[in-house]
A and B are shown apart, each in its own frame.
Chain A
Amino acid sequence: MAREIRFLQGNEAVCEGALYAGCRFYAGYPITPSTEIAEGLSASLPKVGGRFIQMEDELAAMAATIGGSIAGKKSMTATSGPGMSLKMENLGYGYLTEIPCVIVNVMRGGPSTGLPTGPGQSDVMQAKWGTHGDHPAIVLTPSTVQEQLNETVRAFNLAEKYRMPVILLTDEIIGHMREAIEIPEPGELEVIDRKRPTCDPKDYKPYKPEADLVPPMADFGSGYRYHITGLNHAEDGFPSNNGKMAQADEIRQENKVMHHYDDIVKVEEFECADAEIIVFAYGSSARSAKEAVIKAREEGVKVGLFRPLTLWPFPEKHLEKYVGKTKKFIVPELNLGMIKLEVDRVVKGQAEVVGINKIDSDPITPVEIMDEIRRSK
């Protein structure tokens, strides 16, 4: 049977992905350009037995999302830059307490209120480093409306599998554009649920990791009475001032992500094998980059596109393959050169790394990338 084809807006596709993944609770706060996600799920969640709540502010929306997950429901919230800044407090809580949930940031321009209706990619470092303290991060960057759906499903899967908040980092261009996409059949995409304990409740230790470094998580109300705290804690969940233990636990959390790099990191490598020039691009900028690479190949230039769908952890193992072979990396992004710093870090001076940077609320065009490719010849 042919899959259903629908002409959807990027934000609507996120809603479809959330429902497919089994999201049954959404707590949000209105903010441009993400509001369609809240609107969509306020209408569709009740139809599948889920609930939606519009909270009093962004901090509360993040807190309630975590609360919903602790009560056993796959939970999500969505926002944009100013709201993301406010969510940082409880996002950090979600990391330390290892609560699965999905946060969508539809990036817009500027610090502060900035350019609310225009696109931006300036929250890429915030997505990794925004909340205080050391913690792992999983951040996904879709480029198409189809990927808005598929990567939302993947975000839930990774959140559940690794017991942590996962950020879907998209932007105003993809959030508001419309494309025809295929709706996956039930069962077609893998849907992962968190590990729940099977031991006797009196033996349950909520932060005792299994071999994969992930501890099973019990729903509140399921008979496993336990304590969750934002203080550093022992395996039994209770606060501890033991700094050595806190360090060991945070390293374990970092490792639960880094040891599963191959499972988490997804990259599209397009025409990269013989490339002398690689355009490193993500999100909406990768759309223009792909167009530019196709055009330049037609002109006979050996150029490829390296497109991370997982931006964090940074896809350095994938990128390292090209270091020493590629003469030049071009990094187009709607900020003043944030991810270029990471490319620089991996390339270690063995190739030229050039940024194409704009924060004027306009997308980077294929022509602008073509110009930089042509300059390389």
Chain B
Amino acid sequence: MAYDYSKYLRAGKIPHIWCPGCGYGIIMKSLIRAIDATGIDKDDIVLTSGIGCASRLPGYMDFNTLHTTHGRSLAFATGVKVANPKLKVIALGGDGDMTAIGGNHFIHACRRNIDITCFVFNNYIYGMTGGQYSPTTPKNSKATTAPYGNADNQFDIAQLAIGAGATFVARTTTYHAVPMEKLIKQALDHKGFSVVEIMAGCPTGYGRKNKQGSPANMILWQKENAVPANKAKEMSEEEMAGKFAIGVLHEVQKAEYVEAYDAQVGLK
């Protein structure tokens, strides 16, 4: 029998704003299935976001939802979590939201290891404003603000998270919808700051300008260039050129921020 998503969706809020061919609907469905699998009560879940296409997702979901300012998803989420640690706090945003304007909040949330699950929807572009280059836009790609090609170097979001101290870091793609669900569940179950970078195609803002073909072709590109993490470890830099690792990239156990704070200050 087909999975019934309606329990987690707000009646009357669909259709969503995303373009035909956008990968974000696939992520939303995987997220719903993963949250369902955790068994956490809807009343206890807080979902925060910043500004951008990805950040419209909370409006469709039947949780305590907080659509904040550009880049500040994690800063608001931190306030919620510290004020009431019993809540399950999930913060999401796109690549521009989380790693450009919100980059400082991102690295410091990683560093604190606060028990928040963070999803970064990486579509290589600022989609809502019509296709400007972001910190993850590949070098030489075209964007409306890079008509001659992008001169910037790219952030590797997962590596950034590992370097900044996140204790669970994974990467997946919208092609891998079923493994994505499992990775999201693992991230939600992890105690501490977890990051899942989710590669998603933006046919409208990125694909069209960069001759990526149809949305289906963009998903196939993910399939062809994703390398399982254990295999990627054995490959050379040359062999990995243009490819990216998927799966769990980093997992360690470390004291969680609010618990550590409470212990430090003698709060019970």
Mark A residues whose CB is within 8 Å of B: 24-25, 27, 46, 49, 51, 53, 55-57, 59-60, 63-73, 75, 89-90, 93, 219-223, 225-231, 238-239
CA separation between A64 and B73, bound complex, in Å? 10
- B58 contacts partner chain A, Cβ-Cβ < 8 Å: yes
20 contacts between A and B (CB under 8 A): A25-B82, A27-B79, A46-B267, A51-B83, A53-B79, A59-B72, A59-B75, A63-B69, A63-B76, A64-B78, A69-B83, A71-B84, A220-B46, A220-B66, A220-B84, A221-B44, A225-B42, A225-B43, A231-B67, A239-B67
Chain B hits for A71, CB < 8 A? 46, 79-81, 83-84, 87
CA separation between A53 and B107, bound complex, in Å? 16
Known contacts A66-B79, A67-B81, A72-B84; 11 further A-B pairs (Cβ under 8 A): A51-B82, A59-B72, A60-B108, A63-B68, A64-B78, A64-B79, A220-B64, A221-B84, A225-B65, A229-B67, A230-B69
Nearest Cβ on chain A to B199's Cβ, whole angstroms: 27
- Contact between A221 and B68, CB atoms less than 8 A apart: no
Pick from B62, B79, B105: contact of A225, CB under 8 Å: B62
CA separation between A67 and B49, bound complex, in Å? 12
- B211 contacts partner chain A, Cβ-Cβ < 8 Å: no
Chain B hits for A27, CB < 8 A? 78-79, 82
Chain A hits for B77, CB < 8 A? 67
Q: Which parts of B50-92 form the interface with A (CB within 8 Å)?
A: 58-59, 62-69, 72, 75-84, 86-87
Q: Mark B236-268, 1 if CB is under 8 A from A, else 0.
A: 000000000000000000000010011001110
Chain A hits for B225, CB < 8 A? none
- Contact between A63 and B72, CB atoms less than 8 A apart: yes
- Contact between A64 and B66, CB atoms less than 8 A apart: no
- B38 contacts partner chain A, Cβ-Cβ < 8 Å: no
- Contact between B78 and A225, CB atoms less than 8 A apart: no
Nearest Cβ on chain B to A213's Cβ, whole angstroms: 23
CA separation between A225 and B58, bound complex, in Å? 12
Known: A25-B83, A220-B84, A225-B42. A67 touches B69 (CB 8 A): no
CA separation between A44 and B183, bound complex, in Å? 41
Nearest Cβ on chain B to A13's Cβ, whole angstroms: 23
Nearest Cβ on chain A to B124's Cβ, whole angstroms: 25
Q: Which parts of B81-118 form the interface with A (CB within 8 Å)?
A: 81-84, 86-87, 104-105, 107-108
Known: A228-B67, A231-B67. A221 touches B43 (CB 8 A): yes
- Contact between B59 and A229, CB atoms less than 8 A apart: yes
Please provide the 5 A-B residue pairs with the shortest distance between their CB atoms, ordered closest to farther.
Answer: A67-B79, A64-B79, A63-B75, A46-B265, A68-B83
- Contact between B65 and A60, CB atoms less than 8 A apart: no
- Contact between A67 and B75, CB atoms less than 8 A apart: yes
Pick from B67, B105, B107, B258: contact of A230, CB under 8 Å: B67
Nearest Cβ on chain A to B258's Cβ, whole angstroms: 8
Known: A71-B87, A221-B87. A56 touches B104 (CB 8 A): yes
Known: A55-B75, A221-B46, A223-B43. A67 touches B104 (CB 8 A): no
